Amino acid sequence: MKKQTGLLCLILFAGMIIFNACKKNDSGGDPPPAAENPLYKNAIGKWNINTTPGRTKQPNMVSSKIQDAADLVSIEFLSDTTYVIVSKDNDVFTGTFSAPDSSSINLSNFGKLTEIKIAGGTMNFKLSKDGNTILITANKAETIPLTVNTELLCKNWYLTEEDFGEDLYDEDIDKVTVLFSTAGTYLVQSFNKGIVIEAEIANWKWHPTEPNTFIYWWEELPDEDDKVKITELSKNKLRMEESYYEYDDDDNPTLITQKYVLIPASQVSGRIAGTAFIKHDKTAPKTKGIFRRR
């Protein structure tokens, strides 16, 4: 009899667990995984801020910090949940983002977007930063045609010290990465012990006539002479080279060819910087080539 009673209690206890689990599921249960949030898919890409943001604070309460936020020119969301924000002064903010619900995005080490509405290539939202809030309207930038090479190239790469890559490393720089995005963003970041110490942001697109070649430009308009030849491109390696002329005091030209070897930044463990504020350093020493402005 005791065995039967114990068995009955066990069955009733199991039934209660199943009932409670079903009840939790019927009421919605746990929220779906973040990857299933449609806001992730809809927000991916580069958004150009096309108007002066409106402030929601009273003018006499607006600090210089909110003015900095109002000077933003673009915000870009990448599929690996990182973001890139650029200001009018060419300052760059990077980090990771998350979407806790269908109308807001958290930007690590920067701020938060709320009341997000995306329709017809336009995104309206409120940006909260440093205790202030501004209203922003942005238009989605065109993307580079998605080809096999575009898919392979568009990721964050780590510059190895092979060939001319060695010239980019010194006692202050122990890691250099290059990000290509499908929106045409080209971002070079230099690190020291996991901290971003310098960033150069530019633009890129495929050369219109030369295969396996891309054009890059910083702030000026594209110039087909500023081109880089890709000699090897796979999911695990990128080899590229750039050639240009240097002139001596007598205007005699010398052809300079620089070669670089890169691997995916995800393969370099323990040296990823995380999030940081990056300010373009106009006083930093300049080297020739695609990794710093000439």
Identify whether 4 is part of a domain.
Answer: no
Spatial separation of the C-alpha atoms in residues 38 and 258, rounded to whole Å:
43
| Same domain, residue pair 250 and 135 | no
Identify whether 285 is part of a domain.
Answer: no
**The domain containing residue 269 runs over which residues?**
148-278
Distance between first and last Cα of the chain: 90
Structure confidence by residue, pLDDT tens digits, 41-54: 999 999 999 755 44
Mean pLDDT for 208-223 is 87
Mean pLDDT for 75-96 is 91
Return the ∠ at Cα 215 (arms to 209 and 219), rounded to 5°. Answer: 140
pLDDT of residue 269: 63
Q: How confident is the model at residue 219 (pLDDT cuts 50, 70, 90)?
A: confident
Residue 245 predicted with pLDDT over 70: yes
Considering the chain, what is the average pLDDT of its residues? 79
Give the residue from 262, 281, 72, 267 showing the smallest Cα distance to 180: 262
Phi, psi of 153, deg, nearest 5: -75, -35
Number of domains in the chain: 2
CB 192 within 8 Å of CB 174: yes
Structure tokens at 260: 């670089």
DSSP letter string, 37-91: -HHHHHH-EEEEE-SPPEESS-GGG--HHHHHHHTEEEEEE-TTSEEEEEETT--
| Same domain, residue pair 58 and 121 | yes
Strand partners for 276: 94
| Same domain, residue pair 173 and 108 | no
Spatial separation of the C-alpha atoms in residues 241 and 139, rounded to whole Å:
34
Residue 265 predicted with pLDDT over 50: yes
Identify whether 13 is part of a domain.
Answer: no
pLDDT of residue 287: 43
Domain at 47, CATH number = 2.40.128
pLDDT of residue 138: 95
Residue 281 predicted with pLDDT over 80: no
Q: Name the pairing type of β-strands 92-101 and 276-278.
A: antiparallel
Residue 260 predicted with pLDDT over 50: yes
Q: How confident is the model at residue 200 (pLDDT cuts 50, 70, 90)?
A: confident
Residue 275 predicted with pLDDT over 80: no
Residue 112 predicted with pLDDT over 90: yes
Q: Name the pairing type of β-strands 132-140 and 54-55.
A: antiparallel
- Which of 140, 162, 195 is the last residue before a domain boundary? 140
Identify whether 63 is part of a domain.
Answer: yes
pLDDT of residue 70: 58
| Same domain, residue pair 155 and 272 | yes
Structure confidence by residue, pLDDT tens digits, 137-161: 999 999 999 999 999 999 999 999 9
Mean pLDDT for 94-110 is 94
| Same domain, residue pair 112 and 181 | no
CB 204 within 8 Å of CB 195: no
| Same domain, residue pair 117 and 164 | no
| Same domain, residue pair 172 and 129 | no
pLDDT of residue 285: 38
| Same domain, residue pair 152 and 274 | yes
Identify whether 9 is part of a domain.
Answer: no
Residue 277 predicted with pLDDT over 60: no
| E strand map for 102-236 | 104-107, 111-119, 122-129, 132-140, 156-159, 175-180, 185-192, 195-206, 213-217, 227-233
Residue 163 predicted with pLDDT over 70: yes
Query: Per mean pLDDT, which range of 238-247, 258-267, 275-284, 285-294 is the poorest?
Result: 275-284
Who has greater pLDDT, 275 or 155?
A: 155
| Same domain, residue pair 124 and 38 | yes
Mean pLDDT for 214-231 is 86
Give the residue carrying structure tokens 């001319």: 164
Structure confidence by residue, pLDDT tens digits, 7-38: 444 444 444 444 444 444 443 444 444 557 89
Three-class secondary structure assignment of 202-243: EEEEECCCCCCEEEEECCCCCCCCCEEEEEEECCCCEEEEEE
| Same domain, residue pair 133 and 152 | no
Identify whether 22 is part of a domain.
Answer: no
